[in-house]
Every structure is written in C-alpha cells, then in structure tokens.
A and B are shown apart, each in its own frame.
Chain A
Amino acid sequence: MMAIDPLERQLPALLTELAEPRTPDYVDDLLERTGQAHQRPAWTSLGGWLPTIRTGRILPSAWPVLLRLMVVALVLVIGGGILLVAGSHPAVGPAPTPSESPAPSSSATVPDALRMVRPDGTFPEVAIWVSGPRSLPGPGADSGTALRFTETTLALTRSRVDLPLSLSTAEGTAEGLLRLTTSASCGDGATGEYRWGISPDGRHLTISAVADACAVRLAAVPGDWLRIACKDTRQPCLADLAAGTYPSLNFAPHLQTNDTATPVYGALRYTVPEGWANAADLPGQFVLVKSSDYASYGPGGATNGSVHELVVASNPALSDQTGDCAGAPVASVDHSVQGFVDWLRAQSRIESSVPTPIEIAGHRGQSIDLRVAPSWTGTCPDDPDGTPTAVILTPYAPFGPVPELQSQSTGADPSWALVGEERMRLILVDVGEGDIVLVQVVATDPARFESLAAEAMPIIQSMTFD
C-alpha cells in the first residue's frame, strides 16, 4: 500500500486556508469593464476569431464615456464654422421605390419609420442611414455620409462620427414631412423642411428638400439613403439584402497595416441574388453570409460556431505559426499574389490545391483551396477543444480606430487560422498600387464548402474594386 505523503495530504486544506477564497471586491469594476467591451464577432474569423490575444491592452474603463462626451462636444462645438460647398448626391444601391410615408408618431418626435421602429415597437438607440460622400469641407472626402436619428435629434456626420457636420432637433410635422431646427452649425434656430419616403421593405430612404436656411444640411441631407441594420446596431452593415448591386459602406481595398482605418464609400461594389446578407463592412474587412445563416447570428456574429462566409479583406499579412497562436507577420515574402501563393503552398501545416488564375473586374489573381494538413497537430493555448489549428494570416485589425464603429481596439493583432476540418477558398487579387485584396470563402462544416463556394463565386466575379 502506497503511503500518502503528509505534505500532499495537507496541501488542499493548507492552500485553501492560505488563499482565503472570497468574492473579490472588484467584481463590479470587472463587470463595468466587460460591459463596455465589445465581444469579438465570430464573423471576423475563419471559424471565429481565435481567442488568442495574449497581450491585449485593457483600456481604462472611463474610455467609452470619454469618447461619447468628446463626440457630443465636437458635435456641439464644430458645427458653427462649417460652410456650404456645392453638394452632389450619388445614388446608392438599388433604386428605392418610395411608398407613402407613415404618419409621424407624434408631432414632437422623429417619425417612427425614420427611427427604424421594430415590430415589437422598440427602436435602436440610434437609427443610422448611410449614403455616399457629400462635397463638404473637412477631411474624409471619400467617406460616406450618415444620418443618425434619435427620438428628437438628427446628427449629420461622415462615416466617422468624429467628423460631425451638424446637429439638429428633428420632428415630424405632417405626413412625410420632417422639420429640422439647428442646435449646432448654421447658427441656432435655423430651420429646414424636408420631404421623405421609405421603400416598402424599409431599406431605402429618399429625402428631398422643401427649404432650409442651413446650407450644410441642404447640401447633405437630400438624397437616397440605405438602412444600417446590423445585428449589433453599433456596427455599420446592411444586413439582409434584396437582390441587386450595392456599394460597400466603409471597406477600403487599399488600406495597409498601420494605416488609420479611414472608411471609403463604394470602393467595393458587388451584386447579390436574393438570400444574402451583409454581416460586416469595416475598412479592413467586408463580410457576406447567406441570410439563412445570418438569421442565427447575434450581435457578435455567428453564435453556434458555424461560420460559412464570404470575407473580403484588404492587404492581409502572412503569418507564421507561433506557440501562442497570436501569429507573427512574415516579412520576408514578396508582397505579391505569386509571393503569397508560393508561401502558402510551402507551409507544412496547410494542405492546398493547385492554384488557378482568376480575373475579377480586370484585376488578376489566383485562387487556391486550403485546409489544415492531416499531419498537423498544432493547437492554440486558448482553444478549449485542442483542435489542430494552422495560423496563416494577420489581417488588418478590424477594430481599428474608426469611431463610428464605437469599438475598442485591444491594441493586438489577432491572427487568422484554419481550424480543424474547416475548408477555405482563398482568392488573392492584385488591385493595383501594390495592394492585394483577399477574398475568402470559408466553411466550418466541410460538407457545405463546395455548395457555398459555388454560390459565392458569381458574387465574387461581380465585384469591382476602386
């Protein structure tokens, strides 16, 4: 009979005594931090972002509050100095077919339809409509324009909310009419009246000016607007799409690592049939999914570990496998489609198909199908399942400093990886100026890969990059 070591016998009780387990006094502080931190959307990963951030910088808990205060202050302060420059109003998306405007819910508030009333009668905190760039002073000329309605106000901004153009009180005054009264810019009290209509599906808003003493508004508000309808209402995307051709809202094909994530409107255009949804549209990354999959998405993306997506990313970096799976950018590879393909094919952790040439809107590229090599056993420390994982890319950090997204950067660059049985088609396209756009079709369920790829390829072939 083996004797029990006396130290080992005493250790559990001794350690418990030494530790004095108790509910920590920082639980409230922790929950405040997590409450202000965004979850990393599962859609931003090939199979979900790997939980591999080892050095994520924890922002002070006061940051989001400060950000909001700064934005409000900027909105209130800047507007007065903004001058009118002639505006143009590029068309957006499929031509809307305005219907009769709903009656305003009350004479003192923004009409419910403009605030995107839900079937249960609730509203998003801010209802955002987007359109193309307006010829207005200030930086961000390539960025889109946004109307941000609350119950009683309208903020006019570029895609970045740190560039406010005007803030008005807003109220429905009669059927299909909206009165805006300036509270910042144009001088207090300048009023304007606009006629509006929303398409039957609620996705398109058309506004025309009746009259306005505020030149900034008059230059920017009229036009056609698309509804922002992400599951996470703070994120910019169109969600379910009707069949048609659409502009991207923020995606920037020429965005490079270390660039400030400046949104560009319409730099990617794409055509979808019925049954697709736009799940993300960030400067570094754009995502389409089948509507049937999007139906089960939550604010953070896929909720059941099932990720079947078409992802477009700007200038990703190849990444070596590291023990912590944070990835390490490979600097020695020629930044070209051929250089990337050659490197990928040389990695023992990846099994790849023979690359095939492809041309998208005149841009040449190569397509290659990838999966984790059967012999690869590397895993990631934070993966509870110990699934073989092959890190391959470091994308542009999608949570970069784009205030519109109201996201908090961790300061870390997550890696992209193939996990387990996942299948991926990776298309690398040279879009000029030395930039590479990466288009991926990814399926966590390998049985769905071929059909998903077959449906995705016509969409990919429809894409244009500016």
Chain B
Amino acid sequence: MDQRDLVDRAKRGDHDAFALLVGSAIARLDAAARLILRDPELARDAVQEGFLRAWRNLPALRDPDRFDAWLRRLVIHSCIDVTRRRRRRVFEVELTPTDGPATGDFASGVVDRDQLDVALRRLDPEWRAVVVLHYFLGMPLPDVAATLGIPLGTAKSRLHRSLAAMRVSIGSDDAVSVAVPGGQFA
C-alpha cells in the first residue's frame, strides 16, 4: 500500500493507517524539532502537538500527495509556537558583520558538533528553523519559505545572516556579543 492510500484511509478515520504514516515520518521530524528547539522535551511536545493537529485536521487535507509537506509544516509551526510561548527575553544586538567570518578561521578546519551546538543555540529558533529545514531536511529555500509562511526574501536573509552568525560563533568561542535579533538563550 502506498502513502497516498494510507493518507486516504487515515482521512477516513483509519487510525492504523495513520500509525503507519507516523512511523515513517516521526524520526526525522523529531530530529528536526530537537535541532530547532535544542531541548528534547520541548521537541517531544512540539512533535506530538504537530501530529495531533495532523490527525484532527486530516479530513480537511484536500490533496493526499501534499501530506508530507503539510505534516512537516504543522510540526515546524508547533516548534515555533513552543518557542513563542516560552520566550522570556529578547535581544536586540546589531549583527556585525554580515558578510563572512569576522574572527577565527575554520575554512580549512573541521567544525565539531559542540561548536555547532553552541552556534545553533545562539540563533533565534525561527532563524534556526531556516537552517534546519534547508540543511538538515534538504528543502529548497522556496519550500522553506512556504513552510514557515515567510517571504522567500526573508528566508534567504535569515539563512544568510544565520550562517554569518554561526561562522562568527564557531570561529570565536568568546564571541558572545554576537547575537541575532530576537535571539533566545536556551
């Protein structure tokens, strides 16, 4: 049975079919959520909320072939919702520079996961989402923009500035003065 059949069955209330759809999608979406939220418990909540929304609203999905994109969108929006509910403080720090690395030199080196972890945590979750969707889920930027409900130009800008911030962070562990608008400390 192909995915379209499963989606059709799940739309009609077949929970077993939905369970199969969950099984095939949840590992990657859970990973994406953990990358965006940098908190496994929050990720668990967001993924569950996204899948619950998918189950409840599945009858309204018009095109079964869009199930994957729709489900991804629901989970990512759940992640964003979680971060918005939890946001405690907002940083408004000018990002300088925005064109390439400012400090350090990792061009010929290897970035380790700890460095990346630190760099990701310094990004606003909504910016982090752009990075994760593009580089982890492999989505083209127009799809990233559509998933997040933002203009393509905004997605490009966020990605560009996120990479710049990450370069700075990775290149200089003490570059704590560099943050991005709306940043949240995890």
Interfacial residues, chain A to chain B (CB-CB below 8 A): 5-8, 10-12, 14-24, 26-27, 29-31, 33-35, 37-42, 45, 48-51, 53-56, 58, 232, 298-303, 305, 323, 381-382, 384-386, 410
Contact = CB atoms under 8 A, between A and B. Distances in A.
A21 B31 contact: yes
Contacts of B34: 19
Given A6-B106, A58-B48, A14 B111 contact: yes
B56 A40 contact: yes
Contacts of B58: 39, 300
Contacts of B13: 39, 232, 298-300
Nearest to A54: B81
Given A15-B116, A19-B35, A21-B28, A382 B74 contact: yes
Main secondary structure of the interface of A (DSSP, over half): loop
Nearest to B100: A5
B11 A298 contact: yes
A220 to B, nearest CB: 33
B111 A48 contact: no
A34 B111 contact: no
Given A10-B110, A53-B57, A54-B81, A384 B49 contact: no
A23 B27 contact: yes
Contacts of B57: 39-40, 49-51, 53, 382
B12 A384 contact: no
5 contacts: A14-B116, A27-B26, A30-B52, A51-B74, A305-B63
Contact of B59 (A11, A17, A40, A53): A40
B70 A384 contact: yes
Given A11-B136, A300-B12, A305-B63, 17 more contacts: A7-B170, A11-B116, A11-B131, A12-B135, A12-B136, A14-B111, A14-B116, A27-B22, A33-B52, A37-B55, A40-B60, A48-B62, A50-B60, A299-B12, A301-B59, A305-B61, A386-B146
A10 B111 contact: yes
Contacts of B8: 303
Nearest to A17: B113
Given A12-B138, A14-B111, A19-B34, A35 B73 contact: no
B69 A18 contact: no
Which residue, of B53, B63, B170, has the highest number of chain A Cβ atoms within 10 A?
B53
